[in-house]
Amino acid sequence: MQGKKQYQEKLFTNFQLSDRVPSDNIYRKLKEVLDLQFLYTATAKYYGKDGQKSIDPIVFFKL
């Protein structure tokens, strides 16, 4: 008798991207070496105080 498996989608999955990226990845090494915190003070004058939150300056810089 031929069987057929019924697919049932999981409601929750345990997935962490950091578990999938190798420890010797070049971007992991760059993150350890580069300190981009200065971008917050360097770009503060360009951001308003009201309205929606903007893209994080560090994320924008990395793009």
Q: Give residue-wise pLDDT tens across range 47-59.
A: 888 888 888 999 9
Total domains in the fold of the chain? 1
Residue 29 forms part of a structural domain? yes
Identity of residue 22: P
Residue 7 forms part of a structural domain? no
Residue 50 domain boundaries: 21-62
Q: Nearest 5 degrees, angle CA 56-CA 60-CA 63?
A: 145
37 within 8 A of 30, measured Cβ to Cβ = no
28 within 8 A of 50, measured Cβ to Cβ = no
Biggest CA pair distance of the chain: 72
Residue 31 forms part of a structural domain? yes
Residue 38 forms part of a structural domain? yes
Residue 46 forms part of a structural domain? yes
Residue 35 forms part of a structural domain? yes
Specify the pTM: 0.60
Q: What is the pLDDT at residue 52?
A: 84
Residue 32 forms part of a structural domain? yes
